[in-house]
Amino acid sequence: MIYFQLFLSFLQIGLFSFGGGYAAMPLIQEQVTELHSWLSMSEFTDLITISQMTPGPIAVNSATFVGIKIAGVPGALLATFGCILPSCVIVTLIAKLYLKYRNMSLLQGVLNSLRPAVVAMIASAGISILITAFWGSETAISLSGTDWIMVALFGLAVVLIQKVQMNPILVMTLMGVAKAVLYVVGI
């Protein structure tokens, strides 16, 4: 049963994520933290962090990670298979049609309207991640409960990425080290 659920969840992630990069993130979050409690929000954020630092698409990385945690290596295989199956069918079909007709305008048109929606979805998922980072959980947002060190690290990271144009992986590593050092010196 759990195998079937894993397969089905990642099938939906594979089927409804358009546009690459972070586009799959909101779908993964919904499936693994909201619809099923396979990961806590904090574990989910760790997963995104790990995905950033290793090669491979977020969806495939998540399928492997969640699959192993929930149902071992067979679970990981099934989840990964689920997440690539829609691609296999749809891309092969489109490639076949393309090699025959060579007309892509309808597909591009649909993607043009999906792109702004994908940005909105990523923004919304990003907000959930920040809420977890700043307050620990989505239910306890209050000024006094704010983790100001995390807010400061976030602000610093934004400046390093946007203004200094530093490599994002390097920035994430620096923030991790900084947090650990602050902890050790007792702040």
Partner 1 sequence: MENKKQVLIKLFFSTLYLSAFTFGGGYVIVTLMKKKFVDQYHWIDEDEMLDLVAIAQSAPGAIAVNGAIVVGYKLAGLVGAITAITATILPPFVIISLISFVYTAVRDNVIVSQVLAGMQAGVGAVIASVVFEMGRGIYHGKNPMSILILIGAFIACTAGVSVIYVVIVCGLIGLIRTCFHNKKEAHS
* Interacting span for partner 1 (CB under 8 A) from 1-9, 138-146, 149-157: 149-157
Nearest to 149 by CA among 98, 185, 96: 185
The one-character DSSP state at 1 is -
Q: Find out whether 25 and 58 touch, Cβ atoms under 8 Å.
A: yes
Considering the complex, state which of residue 54 and residue 139 has its C-beta at the smaller distance from partner 1.
54
Establish if 2 lies at the interface with partner 1 (CB under 8 A). Answer: no
CB 144 → partner 1: shortest distance, Å?
A: 19
Q: Find out whether 39 and 26 touch, Cβ atoms under 8 Å.
A: no
Written in H, E and C, the secondary structure of 65-89 is: HHHHHHHHHHHHHHHHHHHHHHHHH
Q: How many CA atoms lie within 13 A of 9 on its CB side?
A: 31
Which one among 8, 36, 130, 135 touches partner 1, defined by CB under 8 A? Answer: 130
Q: How many CA atoms lie within 13 A of 63 on its CB side?
A: 28
Establish if 171 lies at the interface with partner 1 (CB under 8 A). Answer: yes
Q: Which of residues 95-114 bind partner 1 (CB under 8 A)?
A: 95-96, 98-99, 102, 104-114
Establish if 37 lies at the interface with partner 1 (CB under 8 A). Answer: no
Considering the complex, state which of residue 56 and residue 145 has its C-beta at the smaller distance from partner 1.
56
Q: Which of residues 46-65 bind partner 1 (CB under 8 A)?
A: 46, 48-50, 52-61, 64-65
CB 137 → partner 1: shortest distance, Å?
A: 13
